[in-house]
Amino acid sequence: MAAVLRAIFGYAFLVFMVRVVGRRPGKQMTPFEFVLIFFIGGLTLTFVVGDEASFTNALCQIMTIAILHYLISWTRTRSSGFARLTDGTPLVLLEKGHWRPDAMKGMRIADDDVMAMARDKELKTLDEIEYAILERNGEISIIKSSEFHKMAAGK
């Protein structure tokens, strides 16, 4: 009973912490962010497992977390408000040659991060970007400038 409650609390706490700490996982993850994720995960494990290192305990806790994950995923598809709470919403970082400083500051993202994704799309400068959008999964989508498209087509 206590082990299942600890697993529920541990999962909810970890989801909350990762949500609060910021949305820069996935492709944008830097080495120091790897440290953060593994460290928080490892520390959560200490109180979730406690001194109950049995096979039964591990199975029950894994199943508890699987059920919770299923419930959260199901609720996200039913309620857009809940999805906003768990994942946030996409955010425009750059729009037609203008940064959105509030979004950049709020999400703790630097222009270098946007440029890194732009290079990934084979763009060489920021002015070749029409829109840069921070997605819910933490990746930055780049939409090429239409003028750049025309220039590229004219060549």
Can you give the binding site for another protein, defined by CB under 8 A?
20, 50-51, 84, 88-92, 95-96, 102-103, 106, 131, 133, 143
Identity of the residue, 66 or 143, whose beta carbon is nearer to another protein in the bound complex: 143
> What would you measure as the largest C-alpha separation in the chain, in angstroms?
69
- Pull the structure tokens for residue 96: 């037609």
Phi-psi category of residue 22: left, alpha or beta, with phi > 0 → left and psi -120 to 50 → alpha: left
Identity of the residue, 2 or 110, whose beta carbon is nearer to another protein in the bound complex: 2
Identity of the residue, 51 or 155, whose beta carbon is nearer to another protein in the bound complex: 51
Identity of the residue, 26 or 90, whose beta carbon is nearer to another protein in the bound complex: 90
| CB of residue 9 to another protein, shortest distance in Å | 10
| CB of residue 23 to another protein, shortest distance in Å | 10
| CB of residue 92 to another protein, shortest distance in Å | 6
CA distance 86 to 41: 18
| C-alpha distance from residue 109 to each of 29, 31, 42, 104, 118 (Å) | 12, 16, 26, 5, 14
Amino acid, single-letter form, for residue 66: A
| CB of residue 105 to another protein, shortest distance in Å | 9
Assign 87 to helix, strand or coil: helix
